[in-house]
Chain A
C-alpha cells in the first residue's frame, strides 16, 4: 500500500524529482571527488605550493562544500513534501492516521535520497579520474593521475551517505507531520498598506547604499585610499546593510505594489491577459519572496568572490612576472659554473648582462611604523640600472639621474601605493627619502637579501662598504634546456654566502660581515645571498598554484550556480493545485497555448532576471569598493558577470522549457 502510494507520487512528479536527484547527486559527486583528492597520494606529496601544502585548502574547501551541500539538500528536499500537501491532506480525510502519512513522507524521501547517493557516488567514480586529470593538467604537472576511491574514503563516504539519508528523511517526516497536524495552511495575509512603506523603505535603503558606495568610490579617486578609517568602516557597514535589507524590502514591498498599480491602471490591465497575469505573477512573487532574496544575495556574494579570486590569480601572475623578468641569474661566485652549465646544455642564449651592486646596512621603520629595524640592503647606481635591458625596467616607474628609487617586496606597490614614502638611514651615508617605488627586481627578488635602492652615481661612488658583488643575468630563446642532472649540479651553488648583521644601538656602530654558508649554523641575523635563481622552477610552482585555483574556482562556481539555479527551477515547477486549475480554466475560456506560454515565460523571466540584476548591481557596487583606483577590477568583473549571466540564462531557458512542458501536459 505504502509502496503503491510512493510509486504513484514518484511517477506523477518525475520532473521535479529528477531535478532534485540530479542536483543532489551532482553535489554528492563533487563532494566525493574532493574527498578523494584529500586522500590522494599525489596531492599529498608531489604537489605543493611555494611553502605550504595544498591539502589544508582542499580539506577546508570540502568542508565548506559539505556544509553548503547539506543545507541545500535539506532545503530543496522540502519541495516534494510541499508539493504533496494536498494529497497528504486527502489521505488524512480518508482516514489515514497522521503517523502513517508521516511514515509515507519519510519513506519517500528515503527512496529519493538513496537514489541520489547511489547516482552521486557512481558519478564520482566515473568522473574523478577525469577531474583529477583536469586538475593535474591545469597545474601543468606531468604525472599520471592514479585515480581510485580508496577504501577508507569510500567507507567515510558511505557513512556520510547513511547519516545524510536518515537525516534528510527525518527532516521531511517532520515536515509531513507539520502539514497534517494543522491542516489549514498558515495564511499570513500581509496587509497591502504594510507593503507600501516597506517597499519605499527598501528603495530608499538600496538607492542610498548605492549612492554612498559611488560617492565613496569617487572620493577614493580624488584623494586616494588612506586605510580603513572609522568613517569608511561605518559607510561600508551601511552599504552592506542597505543592500541586504533593501533588496528584501524591495522584493517584499515594492514589486508587489508595482504590480498592483499596474493592475489598477485599467488601460493596461483590461487588455489581453494582463488582468490575470499581473495577479498571478503577484501571487507567485509574494510566495517566493524569501527564495528570490536568498538567491540574489548568494549570487552577489558568488560574483564578488569569483571576481576577487580571479583578481588574486592575476595578481600572482603579475607578481611572478615582475619577480622573474629573466631566465637565469648568478653572482660573481657562481657565474663561471652557471655559464659552463649553460654552454653544456642546448640552451640558446639571447642576451647576457651584468651589474655591480653594493650591500650595506640600513635602518628603516618596520611595517608597523613604530620600530626601526636594521637590515642589509643592496644599492645599484643609476647608470648601471639604465644599462639593463628595457624589459626589466618596463614595470618600474621612470626616474631621472638625480632620483632614488626603492625596489621592494610585498604587494603594497601593486595595490597602487606607488608613491608611498620610504625613508632609509644608510650607514655612513646620507639619509634617503624617496617616493619612487618599483617592484621589478633586475635579477629577481631571490638574489637580494633585502630591498634594492637605485641611487645617483655620485651617491653610489661615495657609499662606504666592503661588501660588493656583481650579478649576471641571461635571457634564453625558448627557456633553458638544462637537464635534470645539470640542475642537480647547479643546486650545490644555491646559496653563495651569508650576510651577517651585528646590530648595535646605533646604526653607525653596527657591522655587516660575509660568512660562508652553513645550514647548521644559521642565525637570526644571517641573510642568505643566493648563488643563482632559475625561472623554470618558479614557473612550475606558478603553474601549479594557478591551475589549482582555476580548478577550485570553477568547481565552486559551477556547483553554486547549479544549486541556485535548481532552487529557482523547483520553485517555478512547484505550483499549487489551484494554480494549475487556473491555467486549465484559462484554456477552457479560449486562451491559446501561446498566451499561456507567455505567462510561463514572464514568470520565468521574473524569477531569473530579477535576482541576477539585483545581484549584479550589488556585486558591482562592492567591487568598486575593493577596487581603489590602481588596478581596475572592472574587466575581470565584466568577464565573470557575462559568463555567469550566460550560464544562468541557460538554466533559465531549460527551466522554462521544462515548466512549459509540464503546464502543457496538464492543460491539454
Chain B
C-alpha cells in the first residue's frame, strides 16, 4: 500500500458553529491506482484530498505515505516530500498572478533547482500536449477559467509526480480538453505507474478511474471498483450518485 489513511477527522471553525468536514475516514490506496472520490457538494472531497496531500493536518488520525507518517513530519521535510513526489491540481487553480503562464508551469521544477535544459524540454512537451503553447507569455489574470485549469494541470504534471492529486481537474474544461487531459492522466497512470487521486462530480470523468469512493457528510458511503468495462462502470457510478442524492447533473436529467 502506498497511501494509508487511518481514521482521520477534521473540523472547521470554533466549537459552537463547528463544521465536521471529515468525520472518520479510513482509506488505502495502492501504488499505481487511479482513485476517484465522488460525493455531493460540501461532502468533504476537497478536504479529504487536502489532508492526504498533507496540505492540511487532520485533527485526528494518521496519513501514511510510503511508510512515512506524514502527520509527524516537520515542515521542511514535508515541503521537500511534497515537491519531489507530488503534483497538485487545485479546484481553485492556485496560480500565481504575478508570474506569467510559463513561469507558473515551471515553478515546481525551479523550486527543485532543476537545470535549464530539462525545464525547457518538459515545458515544451506539456505545452504541446495540452495545446497551450500560445499562452506561454500571457498573464494568468487574463486567462479563461478553462485555460487556467490547463495551466494548473501542466504545473502539476511538469515534474512527473509519483502521486497526483487532482481536485475537479475537468470542472471548467470543454469535453475535448477534458478528454485530452484525462487521457494523459491515464497514460502516466499506466505507463509510469503514477498514483492518482481525483475528486470529481462528473461521472464521465470518474469513469477513467480504477476505483471510486463515494463520500457523504464526511464519511465514506460506498465504493465501486472498475471491472474493466468502461460503460458498465459509468452506469454503476450514475446509479450510485442517484442513491446518494445531491446535485449531480445526471441525477436531475434522469429524474425529468
Q: A270-B119, A271-B110 are in contact. Are A589 and B98 (CB under 8 A)?
A: no
A262 to B199, CA, bound (A): 40
B111 — which chain A residues lie within 8 A by C-beta?
Answer: 272-273, 590-591
Q: Are B113 and A271 in contact (CB under 8 A)?
A: yes
Q: Total A-B pairs in contact (CB under 8 Å)?
A: 71
Q: Does A283 contact B (CB under 8 A)?
A: yes
Query: What does DSSP make chain A's interface, helix, strand, loop or mixed?
Result: helix
Q: Are B79 and A591 in contact (CB under 8 A)?
A: yes
Q: Are A594 and B76 in contact (CB under 8 A)?
A: yes
> Which of B83, B98, B107, B108 contacts A280, CB < 8 Å?
B98
A191 to B55, CA, bound (A): 39
Query: What does DSSP make chain B's interface, helix, strand, loop or mixed?
Result: helix
Q: Are A270 and B98 in contact (CB under 8 A)?
A: no
Q: Are A276 and B79 in contact (CB under 8 A)?
A: no
A586 to B155, CA, bound (A): 13
> Which of A279, A280, A588 contacts B55, CB < 8 Å?
A588
A581 to B140, CA, bound (A): 14
Q: Does A592 contact B (CB under 8 A)?
A: yes
B97 — which chain A residues lie within 8 A by C-beta?
Answer: 578, 581-582
Least CB distance from A508 to B in Å reads: 89
Q: Does B29 contact A (CB under 8 A)?
A: no
Q: Does A87 contact B (CB under 8 A)?
A: no
Q: Does A14 contact B (CB under 8 A)?
A: no
**Residue total for B at the interface (Cβ-Cβ under 8 A):** 29
Q: Are A270 and B86 in contact (CB under 8 A)?
A: no
CB nearest neighbor in A for B54 = A590
B78 — which chain A residues lie within 8 A by C-beta?
Answer: 592
Q: Are B110 and A588 in contact (CB under 8 A)?
A: no
Q: Are A588 and B90 in contact (CB under 8 A)?
A: yes
A283 — which chain B residues lie within 8 A by C-beta?
Answer: 98
Q: Which of B76, B98, B113, B116 has the most CB of A within 10 A?
A: B98
CB nearest neighbor in B for A594 = B76
B109 — which chain A residues lie within 8 A by C-beta?
Answer: 270
A594 — which chain B residues lie within 8 A by C-beta?
Answer: 75-76, 79
Q: Are A279 and B98 in contact (CB under 8 A)?
A: yes
B76 — which chain A residues lie within 8 A by C-beta?
Answer: 592-594
Q: Does B106 contact A (CB under 8 A)?
A: yes
A273 to B107, CA, bound (A): 8
CB nearest neighbor in A for B81 = A590
Q: Are A275 and B107 in contact (CB under 8 A)?
A: yes
Q: Are A585 and B75 in contact (CB under 8 A)?
A: no
A273 to B78, CA, bound (A): 17
Q: Does A421 contact B (CB under 8 A)?
A: no
> Which of B88, B113, B114 contacts A589, CB < 8 Å?
B88
A585 — which chain B residues lie within 8 A by C-beta?
Answer: 94-96
> Which of A582, A588, A590 contacts B98, CB < 8 Å?
A582
CB nearest neighbor in A for B84 = A590
CB nearest neighbor in A for B56 = A668
Least CB distance from B56 to A in Å reads: 9
Q: Does B99 contact A (CB under 8 A)?
A: yes
- The A-contacting residues of B in range 177-216, CB under 8 angstroms, are none
Least CB distance from A86 to B in Å reads: 15
Q: A585-B95, A588-B55, A594-B75 are in contact. Are A275 and B113 (CB under 8 A)?
A: no
Q: Are A595 and B79 in contact (CB under 8 A)?
A: yes
1/0 contact trace for B115-154 toward A, CB 8 Å? 0100100000000000000000000000000000000000
Q: A589-B108, A590-B79, A591-B111 are in contact. Are A276 and B116 (CB under 8 A)?
A: no
CB nearest neighbor in B for A588 = B94
Q: Does B82 contact A (CB under 8 A)?
A: yes
Q: Which of B106, B108, B110 has the most CB of A within 10 A?
A: B110
A266 to B96, CA, bound (A): 19
Q: A272-B111, A588-B90, A592-B75 are in contact. Are A266 and B103 (CB under 8 A)?
A: no
Q: Does B80 contact A (CB under 8 A)?
A: yes
CB nearest neighbor in B for A593 = B75
A453 to B90, CA, bound (A): 92
1/0 contact trace for A480-492 toward B, CB 8 Å? 0000000000000
Q: Does A267 contact B (CB under 8 A)?
A: yes
A283 to B110, CA, bound (A): 20
Q: Are A272 and B55 in contact (CB under 8 A)?
A: no
A464 to B79, CA, bound (A): 98
A590 — which chain B residues lie within 8 A by C-beta?
Answer: 79, 82-83, 86, 88, 108, 111
Q: A275-B99, A588-B55 are in contact. Are A270 and B94 (CB under 8 A)?
A: no
Least CB distance from B169 to A in Å reads: 15
CB nearest neighbor in B for A578 = B97
A272 — which chain B residues lie within 8 A by C-beta?
Answer: 110-111, 113
Q: A270-B106, A270-B110 are in contact. Are A582 and B75 (CB under 8 A)?
A: no
A266 to B111, CA, bound (A): 13
A276 — which chain B residues lie within 8 A by C-beta?
Answer: 96, 98-99, 107
Least CB distance from B51 to A in Å reads: 13
Least CB distance from A649 to B in Å reads: 27
Q: Are B75 and A589 in contact (CB under 8 A)?
A: no
Q: Which of A270, A283, A595 has the most CB of B within 10 A?
A: A270
Q: Are B75 and A588 in contact (CB under 8 A)?
A: no
CB nearest neighbor in A for B79 = A592
- The A-contacting residues of B in range 148-169, CB under 8 angstroms, are 155
A588 — which chain B residues lie within 8 A by C-beta?
Answer: 55, 88, 90, 94
A-B contact sample (10 more), CB < 8 A, given A266-B116, A272-B111, A591-B79:
A273-B110, A274-B110, A275-B110, A590-B82, A590-B83, A590-B108, A590-B111, A592-B79, A592-B80, A593-B76
Q: Which 6 A-B pairs have the closest CB atoms?
A: A592-B79, A590-B83, A590-B82, A585-B94, A593-B75, A279-B98
Q: Report 10 cross-chain contacts, Cβ distance below 8 Å, ordered by A residue.
A: A269-B110, A272-B113, A273-B110, A273-B111, A588-B94, A589-B83, A590-B88, A591-B83, A591-B111, A594-B76
Interface residues of B (CB under 8 A from A): 55, 75-76, 78-80, 82-83, 86, 88, 90, 94-99, 103, 106-111, 113-114, 116, 119, 155
